[in-house]
Amino acid sequence: MAVTEPLPGTSDLWEPELFDWNELENKARDVFHRYGYCEVRTPIFERTDVFVHNLGESSDVVQKEMYTFEDRGGRSLTLRPEGTAAVIRAIANKGIEQGEEVRTFYMGPMFRGERPAAGRRRQFHQIGVEAVGSNSPWMDAECIAMLWFFLEKVGASGGKLLINSRGLPQDRPIISQALTEYFTPHISCMCEDCQRRLNMNVSRILDCKNPACQEIINGAPHISEMFCEESKQYFSRVCQALDKLGVPYEIAPRLVRGLDYYIHTVFEITHPGLGGQDAIAGGGRYRITPPGMKAAVEGIGFAAGMERILMARASRGVAAQGSTDMDVVVLCLGEAAVPQGLALGEKLRREMGGLRIKVDFSARSLKAQMRTANKYNSRIALILGEDELAKGQVLCRNMREASQESLALDKVSETISSILK
């Protein structure tokens, strides 16, 4: 690996690829604002306990994926592996009135020390939302519908929505007991992660993607059959609401998601345009206790991987429009013309809003500078040579028609407008 290359699982992003990224971010803002969500940006690093406490000691993210380090003051800090716990900390820090609803969205880099693969990065980017203050199943359904709409808007529709419930914390002892009884006789044939999960958090075994474990998992009892009445009711109301909103879904009885903070609704959207890492987005309802607070905050949200959305929409042939072309290139022939050329470029950028103007102040030959104009696909070349300087004029060349005329400097903007019309 060359020393200039970014580290494995990270990338440098450049235009034109970034046109797609920017489009995604702008469409996210547009869609989420329509539902009354407002943007928040939290720091890239947080105190480690913000994540450990809420994502769960037994989760893969906490066990093996967090970038955790000590700062100079001996504090344990972590590069955020996800947005939810950090956003809930930020909401708690701002203060929430009793019964107040707060709807937020965020976008930016997240960090997990996973083995890099197609669609699996160590620095990846999420667009996510978190809404707190409403404990209604309608809220869950609307949040999922918003994700569905967002994916449609960015050209990444065609996915499959998988949905399940984790029930309430009071359901867990019965579920854990039933799953422990089921898995214990099989555990010696299961992977190391499953063996660890048996004692730490047995329902997470259901999340294992290992094919050998899958066969055993397929025979496990369905957790939803052990739910209390309230959990069952909640889930059926979410499903009814999704039916009403026309969002198609499939109930996935083994979907538990990899983070411990979930209660009730959990969901994922998989997409056929992705490879082995086929989850384009995931989320659910959760209870998170911000640091220093006794009471948990309940919310609902999701996060979608930006890299994966881009892969999904590329698989459908969708790409952003964007270009690095220039409208005008100013060619300065000789050092003496450079100050005039620079001033002309500056004046036109200010006078003619939105125009892209590159001033070539290399003072190279006309031929070399014309190559620059062609490289930038420029519609117009403004040429400043000795003659033009002496007369207070500029030579304006229409690059498409290969025609040119000498103009007084104060007539340049008019002519540019008519050529670009």
Positions in the binding site for ligand HAM (CB under 6 A): 82-84, 112, 114, 119-121, 124, 126, 128, 130, 279-284, 286, 301-305, 307-308
Nearer to ligand HAM (CB atom), residue 308 or residue 397: 308
Shortest CB 275 distance to ligand HAM, Å: 12
Nearer to ligand HAM (CB atom), residue 279 or residue 409: 279
Which residue type sits at 362? S
Q: Which residue has the tokens 């440098």?
A: 12
Nearer to ligand HAM (CB atom), residue 126 or residue 134: 126
| H/E stretch holding 235 | helix 229-245
Shortest CB 124 distance to ligand HAM, Å: 3
Q: How far apart are the first and last CA of the chain?
A: 49
Shortest CB 109 distance to ligand HAM, Å: 11
Which residue type sits at 68? T
**Residue 10, helix vs strand vs coil:** coil
Shortest CB 100 distance to ligand HAM, Å: 19
CA distance to 94, 129, 245, 288, 303, per residue, from 48 (Å): 20, 22, 39, 15, 20
- Cα dihedral 28, 34, 40, 41, rounded to 10, equals 20
| H/E stretch holding 7 | none
Shortest CB 179 distance to ligand HAM, Å: 21
Q: Which spans in 95-228 are helix H?
A: 137-153, 172-183, 192-200, 211-217
Nearer to ligand HAM (CB atom), residue 124 or residue 148: 124
**Strand bridging mode 380-384 / 393-398:** antiparallel
Shortest CB 247 distance to ligand HAM, Å: 17
Shortest CB 91 distance to ligand HAM, Å: 12
**Rounded to 5°, angle at Cα 82 from 294 and 237:** 70
Q: Are 380 and 396 in contact (CB under 8 A)?
A: yes
**Residue 100, helix vs strand vs coil:** coil
Both structure tokens of 79: 């590069």
Nearer to ligand HAM (CB atom), residue 17 or residue 114: 114
Nearer to ligand HAM (CB atom), residue 299 or residue 345: 299
Return the residue nearest ligand HAM (CB atom): 305
Nearer to ligand HAM (CB atom), residue 288 or residue 370: 288
